[in-house]
Chains A and B, each alone.
Chain A
Amino acid sequence: MLPLDKHPGLIYVVATLLPLASFVILLIAGGVRQYLRPRKQESSLAGTLYTLLGGDAPGKTAAYVATAAIGLAFLCAVYGFVKFNSEAHHLSHEIKHLKEAIVELKHEAEHEGDKFEAKLKAKQGELAEKEGRWSGRVNWVVILPGGLNDNKHGTALQVGFYIDQLSAVMFAMVTFIATLIHLFSIGYMSEELHQPVADHEVHTAHGHLHRRGRFGRFFLFLSLFCFSMLNLIIADNLFQVFVSWELVGICSFLLIGFYYERTSASNAANKAFITNRVGDAGFIIGLLIVWTYVGTLNFQEVFARIRCPDKAFSAARGEHGKVVSLEYAGLIVRANPQGSKSANEGDMVSILKPDESIRADTRVIIFPREPDGHFEGVGPQSRAEVKEIDVFERPRPDQYSSMPYWLLVAAGLGIFLGCVGKSAQFPLHVWLPDAMEGPTPVSALIHAATMVAAGVYLVGRCFPLFTPEAQLVIAYTGAITLTVAASIAVVMTDIKKVLAYSTVSQLGYMMLALGVGGWVAGLFHLITHAFFKALLFLGSGSVIYGCHHQQDMLKMGGLYPKMKITAITMLTGVLAIGGIPLFSGYYSKDAIMADALGFFMVYKQHFLLFFLPLITAGITAFYMSRMWFLTFTGKPRDAHVHEHAHESPWIMTVPLIILAFFSVSIAWGPEEVALENTLHHAMPHAVMADFGVEPLVDSVIVRTPDGSKRRELTWSGGKTKPLSENSRHLAHEYHDLAGTMALGMGLAGILLAALLYYFRVLDPADSKEQFPGVYRLLASKWYFDELYSAILVRPALAVANWFRAFDTNVIDGVVDSTALATVKTSFWSGRFDNGIIDGLVNLTASVCFAIGAWLRRFQTGYIRSYILFLVLAAVAIWVIMSFLFGTGAPAAGH
């Protein structure tokens, strides 16, 4: 049915569409059922259909549909993962060589004519076939400017998929955890099956709220979320990511607001979406910049154009060409304009050395999509002082062009702002703790394991887009976030809030890692964290379920005997996040610490990027152990809660056990298939270029002067930094040191928590009293909500009210008073008409009448008096005429 042998990647598209199908089915079925509910008595058909769709008690069908869909998607993901990994290595080499061969053939074809064309075509076809195995795309909107001639740059927004190790791993992780969470939800959400459901947190005039259950709706939203999230992962371009980005945002909104009768829930939902939209505004700006200057949004093409290619085809000085490695391989190449035009009407720019400082007008070279022979300027053979290159203003895929350097920085920061919103990083972290208003499985899936990790994923995906400045911002954002969030988690007493802040903090670790060049470490931690945080959230869900929706840890305590499975699985999670050896978190966090240490050793001024995460490692272990001790150990602090507490049913504990197993072991494995190494294959070259000099040995085809070809080993990227300045190398070198330090901090944290909350040697209340200011600051979450309310929300509302007032008072004031003035004018003109104009007319009439009456007196009837008047009149006329026409008399005489 599907051409899976030729395009095995399509299995991922199928897997992505499965939850969408589930969504559509559930939406239509649910809509029809809701429509029929009031009409079931109207006709027998309506009644039957209503019953068929579940009737008043729809049961768990919706859950089965959704779970089946995501379960199938997981199976597809496993198939895809295995298949992909079995051929990925081989395939990537083949593609690389094909590309090189094509570059060479192109050159030949250019110089030696048609006989190479056929060969070139064949190779290109082969390449397309190979690349088509795990990627594909179609146009979504095409705007071809009819007669506009400059249509070589971006003309289409596309949708497509692209599978590499990163997306394969992410896809498998998301589908796996989502499947487990679907299963867990069948148990957790079962209260929604009751008719009616009582919501104890909402009070109405008649006591608690009673409403219809929303079991099906929960799975409806969950399906939509799964589709959006999977679409985000397989997307091969920024635009598609943005679309999915908003869709997961709206799912998050719907699920946070799932108990929408609660004001807190609907507020939290709004806050989440609106805060995310702030990030999205930045994301849009990033998209605009990339689209404008690079001319495409496809990841691979964008990166190929922004980063210097590894190799180029040199045809210097009339020799036969050869493939050469470039000095700037993988780097962003900056250049200063020289203010002159080339023969081709392009601008001449001179290339900066990697460590040269930039100017305000410094530009970035945008490379042609496929490297060709013309870019000699940065090849090793021409290390002349001035390296000139010819660039064009508008991006065309086959030309060099350039963009302002600051705009590339801005593009990176804009996209990062989107990630800041989605991954709840400082300063947009405020929504995530509030998002805990949603049902706990949602918190586990969306607000811990997958969606919030999307920000980190995208930073990883877009890494080649980030300039060093942007990378530093990413690192510092991560460092600040992880510290602030961890500090707040220490004082939280709501079990889910602790986990929420912990999530924020852990996401901060990932961002930090990416920012300091620990690409693998950051994404590695993303995966391990997804498992143990999903576990912790589901564990907390199990606790909350067992305690009948009690979330306050101060009312728990001593629950261990009552819910052993939950307690032990959660302990696994706590140890994993605390960085205890052999647990998955240990490996990933160590990797991050090592990268931070390496970075710190090179850039001493950025010491905070190492010490903040180091200290926070201790804090993390502390608050997580505190949570566990408070919940499961000690004396029960609330007899009522303790009495009714019970272990959850198997459908909830089984996912816990499975997740616990993977929280321990996900990082294990033999060298080749270990998670960390798998991810390593997907690492963009840019990471190495920016942070390291580990030479990549590569084989290339070299053409010797006598015309024959042979394969030669060569260095890919010949940068000349000493090892002591190479943070990647140092991270490798001092890995154990960093790990030991982090482990020490972690153990100290656990010990402190044990002293305070298990052995009760110290009293936590003491420290609260000793540092009231600090406690207040932390308990108030550093006053971020208050700050934003004061500087953003209230001013926005004030502006809104001004505008409304402006409309009603000023604009409508003008309009209405104009109208009033017109009415008044017409009133007065009416008066004028009646009084003056008509008055004049009437006056004239009466004057005429009066004159007539007066003249009547001359109407005597006597001929003599008439003659007298006639004579008088004639004389008078003659006199007047003679005055008027003075020359009249002589003329008459003539």
Chain B
Amino acid sequence: MVEFDLILMSAVIFLPTLFALGLLFFPPGKDELMRWWSLLGTAVTMVASLFLFIDYLAMLDVQPDFTAARPHEKTTLLARAEKEANRPLENPRAGRELVVRYPWIARFNIEYYLGVDGISMPLIILTTLLSFLAMLASWKIERHVRGYCMLFLLLETGMLGTFMALDFFLFYIFWEVMLLPMYFLIGVWGGPRREYAAIKFFIYTLLGSVFILIALLGFYFTDVQDVAGTRVYKDAKDDKGKLTRVQYDRKVEAIMLSMSPQEKQAIVKRKGDVRAEAEKRVVMNTFDLMTLAKAGRVAMKKIEGTLTAADLPGLEAAGKNEAKKEAVRKRLDDQIFFQPAWQLAFFLLLFVGFAIKVPVFPFHTWLPDAHVEAPTPISMILAGVLLKLGGYGILRIAYPICPWAAYTLAWYLALFGIINILYGAFAAMAQKDFKKLVAYSSVSHMGYVILGIAVWSAGGSQYWAYGMNGAMYQMLAHGISSAGMFFLVGVIYDRAHHRNLDNFRGLNEPMPVYGGISAIIFFAALGLPGLCGFVGEFMVVLATWNFSPAAFPNGGKVLAVLAALTVVITAAYILWTIQRVYFGVNDTYKDYPDMDRRELICAIPLVILAVVMGIAPDLIFKWMEPHVTGLVDFLVR
């Protein structure tokens, strides 16, 4: 029972890799069989993720009826991670927390540490679903099928691992695992300018990774012993060869043992206490995102001057011992992590690193190129999942670990959000390439995510919660609608072999089913009520209106008005596209076959989700919102 979480969560991550390895045993030339095998792999992964989802719901204790009380804050990832850390290993577990932590590289305190909550769970399902659909859309890939499928499945492992990792090091590994398959998928199976696009994508993303890496190192060299208490300590084996947890005392003993006799004598000579000296030398480094988040909050409180013992276990443990308290304070003062300038620097490193993925203006130009050159299924994954990783990273890492900086820079972040929205919409309107238009619409729609996350202002935490939830919902909705749009572009590209918007026209007549499905997906992107795109945008705008940054109290209102006005531009470019592609008459295309069975199987789930998510958003909010709001709650308190 104890290992069940470990098995299930690892299965979700590594099943695709397993299937990728399985591909090695296929005789060459059996392309069709390999496609089916890979499809099976994505399907099995999807089923596994659904099992995980069911477990997650059971953990939240969500009842199927709508009136049930909401899950309380005991289920936040932080709470569960702490519970898991304090769980005595020798005792069988009472309940399951959906958090897995096992030592991996014990010497550097790196853990195999996974967990899901309302922020990652929906994205995991989105990933497995879109991977399945994208695999289905990959049937038209003819060259090097084995290599394609292997890379595709590896990519899925990378994405899922990133969404689940709670150890920053592990996160980074998965983050990089994602990068390489993507590079090859674009670079080998892409369009005519694939090499340029692939290198651009790779270098851009690598640049972001470097920023993240610097921050990661900075965090690791922060001594978190006062923040974490004694909890994060783990060692691989005890003397009986059994997994155990080394307590603080043992760490101190180890240091004492390592001291030379002369050293000890010198200490005794100075009338010092050997143990105290050893304690001083204890340094606790960690990649644990939850502990780092707590450290981030301590940093925020310290900078704001509101730090209390309740926030800092080290201070609490010191009790009334002034010397110990002083030592704790000094430890904080001495570390760059807790200083405002470095908090800002770390935040900017992380934000830029993740912003490149989102992408945020002006780091967005890899996106149109990558999309245009990537094959259809890869575009679906790219828009549907990879962009979400940027938003996820900001939510999971940048904000919790550097909250003070996020709060301080809120106005500028919101400005980036609104620039994205406007810039993307206008740039989309000017495009002639169908795929580029969709790519820029992604830039515009992801702007709402940034805006929703950014609108943190004093006294408006409830509205910020709206913004955060809206941003999360917008990510999911965009995952559905943009993947759908790219797929639909792919459908017509397979027939017409071009994407020039001015050369289409009149596709509705030969392909009525295609026209109908396109209408629904495009209207979803347009933010039509009743379809998925509306909910997130509306909530974000609602939150933005109530955003009042210290620098510019009415700034939120200005941004909200701009965001509201963008609906006109969005309507303009989407309707114009519909007009240019589906309306009118065109003799050239009048014999095109409508969507076939495979294409329909791929598109219809997206259509259904677009409608269901538009009509009944509470189906998702119900289990997503507690943790998104929980994060807000954690940050503002």
Contacts and interface: CB of A to CB of B under 8 A. Distances in A.
Contact of B431 (A266, A267, A281, A804): A804
Interface stretch (A66-74, A513-521, A807-815): A807-815
Contacts of A155: 462
Interface stretch (B278-286, B488-496, B538-546): B538-546
A396 to B, nearest CB: 12
A213 to B, nearest CB: 12
Contacts of B466: 143
Interface residues of B, number: 76
B636 A141 contact: no
B560 A285 contact: yes
B471 to A, nearest CB: 13
A148 B571 CA distance: 36
Q: Is the interface of B mostly helix, strand, loop or mixed?
A: helix
A285 to B, nearest CB: 5
A880 interface: no
B575 interface: yes
Nearest to B470: A143
B254 interface: no
B571 A34 contact: no
A144 B466 CA distance: 9
A27 B513 CA distance: 11
A610 interface: no
A273 B573 CA distance: 12
B583 A261 contact: yes
B73 interface: yes
B594 interface: yes
A145 B618 CA distance: 15
B429 A800 contact: yes
B461 A148 contact: yes
B365 interface: yes
Contacts of B595: 35
A796 B429 contact: yes
Interface in B563-592: 564-565, 567-569, 571-573, 575-576, 579, 582-585, 587
Given A204-B585, A250-B528, A266 B621 contact: no
Interface residues of A, number: 68
A206 B516 CA distance: 27
B571 A274 contact: yes
Contacts of B72: 146
Contact of A803 (B426, B508, B626): B426
Contacts of B516: 27, 31, 34
A211 interface: yes
B96 interface: no
Interface string A249-272: 010010001001101001101100
Nearest to A214: B512
A340 interface: no
B553 interface: no
B600 A146 contact: no
Nearest to A144: B70
A822 to B, nearest CB: 9
Nearest to A810: B362
Nearest to A206: B587
Given A266-B584, A796-B429, A803-B427, A143 B469 contact: yes
Which of A143, A242, A243, A253 has the most chain B CB within a 10 Å cutoff? Answer: A143
B147 interface: no
Contacts of B617: 140-141
A804 B462 CA distance: 37
Which of B542, B569, B571 has the most chain A CB within a 10 Å cutoff? Answer: B571
A288 to B, nearest CB: 4
B513 A31 contact: yes
Contact of A280 (B430, B512, B567, B585): B567
Contacts of A190: none
Contacts of B508: 260
B111 interface: no
Contact of A800 (B362, B430, B561, B565): B430
A608 B542 CA distance: 39
Interface in B491-531: 506, 508-509, 512-513, 516, 523, 528-530
A205 B585 CA distance: 10
A260 B582 contact: yes
A146 B73 contact: yes
Contacts of B513: 31, 34-35
Contacts of B429: 796-797, 800
A146 B630 contact: yes
A797 B576 CA distance: 12
A242 B529 CA distance: 8
Contacts of B542: 288, 291
Interface in B360-377: 362, 364-365, 368
A266 B593 CA distance: 24
B568 A278 contact: yes
A343 B171 CA distance: 52
B427 A139 contact: no
Contacts of B629: 143-146, 148
Contacts of A148: 461-462, 465, 629, 632-633, 636
B637 interface: yes
Interface string B600-637: 10000000000000000110010001100110110011
A148 B73 CA distance: 11
Given A31-B516, A281-B564, A799 B571 contact: no
A811 B365 contact: yes
A247 B427 contact: no
A292 B430 contact: no
Given A140-B617, A143-B466, A147-B633, A204 B587 contact: yes
A284 B541 contact: yes
B70 A146 contact: yes
Contacts of A274: 568, 571-572, 575
B575 A803 contact: no
Contacts of B430: 797, 800-801, 803-804
B267 interface: no
B630 to A, nearest CB: 6
A153 interface: yes
B331 interface: no
A212 interface: yes
Interface string B419-451: 000010011111100000000000000000000
A250 B585 contact: no
Given A270-B575, A281-B568, A147 B637 contact: yes
A246 B530 CA distance: 9
A821 to B, nearest CB: 13
A209 interface: yes
A191 B365 CA distance: 50
Contacts of B266: none
A680 B188 CA distance: 73
A850 interface: no
A34 B600 CA distance: 12
Nearest to B537: A284
A289 interface: yes
A811 B545 contact: no
A146 B73 CA distance: 7
Nearest to B570: A277
Contacts of A257: 579, 583
A142 B545 contact: no
Contacts of A147: 73, 630, 633, 637
Given A146-B630, A266-B579, A796 B569 contact: yes
Given A142-B621, A288-B560, A801-B430, A273 B575 contact: yes
Contact of A284 (B546, B567, B594): B567
Given A141-B621, A143-B462, A146-B72, 10 more contacts: A143-B625, A146-B629, A148-B461, A148-B462, A243-B534, A253-B575, A260-B579, A260-B582, A261-B509, A274-B571
The 3 residue pairs across chains A and B that have the minimum distance between CB atoms:
A243-B529, A800-B430, A804-B430
19 contacts: A37-B594, A38-B594, A141-B535, A142-B621, A143-B469, A143-B625, A144-B625, A146-B626, A150-B462, A204-B587, A212-B509, A247-B530, A261-B509, A263-B584, A281-B568, A285-B561, A804-B430, A815-B365, A819-B200
